[in-house]
Structure formats: C-alpha cells, structure tokens
Amino acid sequence: MTVIKTENLVKVYNSKHLPVRAVNNVSLEIEEGEFTAIVGPSGSGKTTLLNIIGGLDKPTEGKVTIADTDITGLSDSKLIDFRLKNIGFVFQAYNLIPVLTARENVNFIMLLQGRSQREMNERAEELLTQVGLSDKMDVRPNKLSGGQQQRVAVARALASHPRFILADEPTANLDSQSAMNLLDIMWKLNQEENITLVFSTHDQRVIDRARRVVTLVDGSIAKDEVREPVVPAQ
Amino acid sequence: MKTWIKLAWRNIWRNKRRSFISIASVLFAVLFAIAADSFERGSYEMQIENMVMFSTGYIRIQDVLYEDEPSLDHMMMYDDALLDVLDGFSDRIEYTVPRIEGFALAASDRRTRGVMVMGIDPDQEDRFNGLSERLVSGSWLEPGDESVLLASGAADILGLDVGDTLVVIGQGFQGINSSGLYPVKGIVQLAVPDMNNNMVYMPLAAAQWFFGADDMVTSLIVMPDRPRNTERLAGDLQTALDDEWYAVLTWQDMMKDFLRAMEMDMAGNKMIILILYIVIGFGLFGTILTMMLERIREFAMMIAIGMKRYQLALVCLMESIFLSLIGVVAGVIITFPITFYFNRNPIPLGGEMADFMAEYGFEAVIPTSIDPVVFVSQAVAIFVIAFLIGLYPVYKVFRLQVIQKAK
C-alpha cells in the first residue's frame, strides 16, 4: 500500500542572482514498511525532498500525500499536529533538548501528545532499553556519546508511535561502530514493527541496508532501484 | 504546564554566569529603586505625619470663610448643636480637638514680641500631639487654668521663666480689644524652630475669654477611628453639617500645595528610576536575545517534532519572567530589612540640610517607608518590563522558519 506519494514536486529557492531548482519534478511512491534511502551528491536535493515529505518545507509546485492526507494544503498549525501524530524525525545533529535527560527527551514527544505520566514513563523505558540505553535514562545529552545521543533521538522519534521515520543523514556524525548499532536498531524496527523508513544519506552502510534506493541528481530522480538489502548478522 | 515550567527553569541555568549577571542587574535595579522610593516616600510620610499630628489633623471642621481668610472674625460656633452632630458619628470618631488661634503681642518687662496664641483643650491636645512630653520645665495645663505654656524659644526671647507673668495684648472677635496677664505655668520645647519662637498655649476657656469669643473656636480637629477612613468620614460630616456655615476639610485639602510639590518631586525621582529600568531592560533584553539566538535551531527542531508554537513561546516568556522574578524577589528580600531598619532608625541629617529642613518645620531626619506599595510597585514595574522583553522571543518563535534551522 502506498503511504507516501509525491507528484511532480518542484522546489525553487530564489537566490539574489538566479533561482535554484533544488527539487525538480519529483514523483515518488513509497510503500508501507519500505526502507528507502535517498542518495545523491551534495546539493542534489536529498534534504530538501525529505523536508518536503516531512512537512517541514512547502514545495513550489506539486503535491505530497501522506497516509491519504494532502499535507501541502495544511496550515502551519495543522502540519505541526500532523507531524506529531504521524512522523518521527531523526536529525544529523541529533538535536536533543540539552536541558532534559534521555528519558525526558523521549517523554517530550508523548507530552506534546497529551499522554499520561505513567504511559510516558513506561514507553520511554521500553524504548531506551530497546536502543540499549537502559543505564543512561537519567543522563543529560552532554554526558552521552554521539552514538548514544543518536539512539536517544531514535527512541524519541519512535515514542509517538509514528507510521514513518524520516532521517536526514543520521549516521553522518557517528563513528563506525555507533553507525552500525544505529542501523541495526532501525533495521529491527523496520522488520518487527513495519515502520516506514526514509533516509537521506551518503553513507554506503545505510544504502546497503535499504531495500529501495532513490538517487537524485540536480533535484531529479536519476535512478530508482529496488534490491535485496544486506541483512545484519544476528 | 509543569514540564514547560521545568524546561524554562532549566533553560535559564544553561549559562549560569550569564543568568547570574542578569539577575544581579535586576536585583541592583530593584534595590536602588526601592531604596530611592522608600527614602523619598518615608521622608514625605514623616512630613505629612508631622503636619497632620501637629497642625492640620486628619479632618478639620471650620467656618466656610476661614480657609480663605484665617481670621478670628471667621470663627465657628462650638456649641451643643455641633456636638450633637458629632455625637452621631461617635463610633467613627476617635476624639476631637478644639482650637482657637489668633495673633497677639506678648510682653515681659523688657521685651515685646508677636506670638501665636493657641487656646487648647489640654487633655485632647496632649492626646493629639503629645505636647506634654515636650514640657522642659514647669507643669502641664489644667482646663480651668488662667495661665499659659510658653514655647522655649519665645521664653528665651522674652526672658521669661516658669512663674513669671506674661502680658498678652491683642484683638479679639469682631475687633474687640483683648488683654490679660498670665502666669507662665510651663515651658515646652517644640521641634519646629518657627513654632518654638512664637507659640503661647492657653486653656480653651481662657483663650475664648481673651478673644471675646464664648462658645467659639477657629477649628475643630476630628481624628477618625482609622486614618484610612478619613475621606469617607469627612464626606459624611460635611453632609450632616450645614455647608453654609461649616467646611469639612481633609488633610489633603489642607496641604494641597505641599502635596502638589511632593508629587512633582516624586515624578522627578520616577524619571530617574525609569531611566534605570530602561538600562536594566536593555541588559535583560541582551540576555534573552542571546538565549534565543543560540537556541534557534533547537526551537526549529522542537516545532519540527510537534511542539506548538504557542507552547514554545510560553516557555520563552517564562524564561524572561523567571530571570526577572528571581532578581525582583532577591532584591526585595535584601532591601526589606534595610528599609525596615532605617524606618525604625531614621538617618539624622546634619549641617545645612538639617537647617534647611528645620526652617521648613520638619524634623531633620530621613526615615524610610515600608509601605507595601514601595515594594509591590517595583516588582510590578520589573514584571511588566520582563513581560514586554519576553514578547520579543514570542514574536520570533511565531515567525521562525523551521526549515532553515532544523537540519
């Protein structure tokens, strides 16, 4: 079942001297439970496309439908609500709230959703245990390594029971071991909970794990291939 | 809400040094503003109290013409009709103080001097202003005495002492000649030099006889059961009395010029405090601006993951309010004991300033005011400033372009 659909997406940034077409006529359909990697050289429009899919940016032309909702027509406030209920974000720079502990960072999303304290605590413990941070729940981000912070970010993204996780170069700041750990976690989530994953990445290790790889060049889809991913060793 | 408060609270302690500097700037602003306001108000409160207790009283009843032309010809009847009306307010009136005041010439065997003769009810007058405590020699007046109390300055000028005879010559009601010989029963030391050089106190009946004004007084001071009830009581008394003959004045009515001068002086002080607040406001704004700019990416991320803009704006507003509130509370906590001490132990003035104040009839001390208004007004002012400053991040949060900052 198609859960993410973009139709003739165009995004033009107006610079002073000349307009830049960051995304150029991109039409894409992503199936539920798919692990998709959007790849391409720097400046190819990966992040812009991901931002438009996530409702963080508006396209100049075209339409994005997510789970039967045309998000390009939603107001700012409704988009925030939509993201909260449907999408989990993982950012390259982790973007945890530095004054909150790992547990509180994970709770934060659920708090925005109006969950009970008990429910929040149970879910946060479950998720942080799942990402291997059961002993770091009450530690603030500045006491965690980059890999640990990114795992908290993943736990936070999962806390709201999203249907999709959008990750923008999630392994870019991680060492090799941390990157592999993170990918294992994401793989597991994808396989066990059927969460749809869309990554923008340069990282070959991420690309290897993806079932579908969409290559962008100059804002347009240059290649869209479905293949057998590399399965992590058990 | 608890989480937003927690978040705002923790945010302000991200950079402890910067927050402490901001809090300290607010604290010193509050300290300075409260101290300045407290000393100024305290000084005026003391002056007002001095004038109310020694001169005007809280409420004064007098003849309608007396205010414009304070002459013995504009005395009022102090008779049963007036007392009956006052009886009707007995539960709201603590006591009354009748006075008859007129100028006369006072002489000893060597010198003559113009004096103010004040006929008083010795008991009521003493209750009103504790005049008997200022007795430096001799004894206090009795209502039926035919003798006088002389202020010490006047006694020195005239060369008189207790037991000597004072000659008083003047003009009484409707121009009658009045004169009398009065033994000096006591000498009182008055704080106000001008009064100390000119006052002669006489029992009310003796003064009425001297001025040829039986059953008359120039004024009747009315002390309400509670000073804050002054205006209402004055209004009710005026309604009950015939306004063709009687004027009921409050202390504010009697000190219009003084109060106007006081307000102008306080307005000048307020300008200085306003400038101080503007300076502090910019300091606080700098902190809030820095706090906001260094977290703009974090703000974008929060909105990206689902935090409503108004929720984020609320957190930013709380940060600004917390910073200022800590400064205000600390400022008040530090300032209160200081102002309380100087309220109980006023700073004595010396030199020219003391002479200047004495010349105007005021005690040469500066007490502080511990009126809650002093503290509350500063707290409210800082709160308003913090709130206004806090609106800037609120504005920025609502204008924030998430996409440019969230990566």
User: Which pLDDT score is estimated for A175?
Assistant: 81
Phi, psi of B112 (to 5 degrees): -130, 145
Confidence of residue B221 (pLDDT cuts 50, 70, 90): very high
Inter-chain touch B3–A111, beta carbons under 8 Å: yes
What pLDDT band is residue B118 in, cutting at 50, 70 and 90?
Answer: very high
Q: What is the DSSP letter of B229?
A: G
Instruction: Tell me the shortest Cα–Cα distance from B328 to chain A, in angstroms.
Output: 25
What residues in chain B have their Cβ under 8 A from chain A's Cβ atoms?
Answer: 3, 7, 10-11, 13-14, 297-298, 301-309, 311, 402-403, 406-407
- Encode pLDDT of B131-190 as tens digits: 898 999 999 999 999 999 999 999 999 999 999 999 999 998 888 899 999 999 999 998
pLDDT for residue A233: 67
Which positions in chain A touch B303 (Cβ < 8 Å)? 80
Q: What is the mean pLDDT of residues A214-224?
A: 91
Question: Which pLDDT score, from 0 to 100, does residue B384 have?
Answer: 87
Q: List b or e across A123-158, with b for residues whose CB sees 16 or more CB atoms inside 10 angstroms.
A: bbeebbebbebeebbeebbeebeebbbbbbbbbbbb
Domains (ranges, CATH) in chain A?
Answer: 2-226 (3.40.50.300)
Nearest to B301 among A84, A91, A113 (CB): A91
Per-residue pLDDT of A111-159, as tens digits, reads 888 888 899 999 999 889 888 888 999 999 999 988 899 889 988 988 8
Asked if residue B406 has pLDDT above 70, the reply is no
Respond yes or no on whether ipTM tops 0.90. no
pLDDT at residue A194, as a whole number: 86
